């Protein structure tokens, strides 16, 4: 059984026991998090978010962190203009505990 969840404008495919890095949630380590399932697949059966008997995904926050640095380089040719900036996107690491019917 697996589910497609949405967090921070992105969608992730998760199953029970998986660890996922999602956009920063602002929760402390060890906190329980409930995520809504957009799609749940269990063998031959498929459930979507709008159908009767929707599912929720329970997760546990493991830690917060920052991803590796992405360099952003701007240049205008023949004008001696160059600018280099770095960015590290914050994330929250979540362990999926279970996929349950709501």
Q: Tell me how far apart the alpha carbons of residues 82 and 42 are, in angstroms, rounded to a whole number.
A: 53
Q: Per-residue pLDDT averaged across 1-8, rounded?
A: 93
Q: Strand runs (DSSP E) across 10-89, as ranges?
A: 10-14, 19-23, 32-42, 45-48, 55-66, 70-76, 81-87
Reported as a single tens digit per residue, the pLDDT across 30-81 is 999 999 899 999 888 888 887 766 788 999 999 999 999 999 999 999 999 9
Q: Tell me, yes or no, if the pTM score tops 0.95.
A: no
For residue 98, what are the contacts with CB-CB under 8 A and spacing of at least 6? Answer: 16, 57, 58
- What does the pLDDT read at residue 78? 97
Token output for 100: 């349950």
User: Higher-confidence residue: 19 or 53?
Assistant: 19
């Amino acid at each position: 059984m697996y589910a497609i969840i949405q967090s921070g404008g992105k969608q992730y495919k998760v199953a029970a026991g998986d660890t996922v890095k999602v956009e920063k949630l602002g929760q402390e380590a060890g906190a329980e998090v409930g995520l809504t399932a957009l799609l749940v697949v269990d063998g031959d059966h498929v459930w979507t978010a709008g159908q009767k008997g929707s599912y929720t995904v329970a997760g546990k926050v493991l830690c917060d962190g920052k991803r590796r640095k992405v360099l952003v380089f701007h240049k205008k040719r023949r004008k001696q203009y160059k600018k280099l900036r770095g960015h590290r996107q914050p994330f929250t690491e979540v362990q999926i505990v279970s996929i349950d019917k709501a």
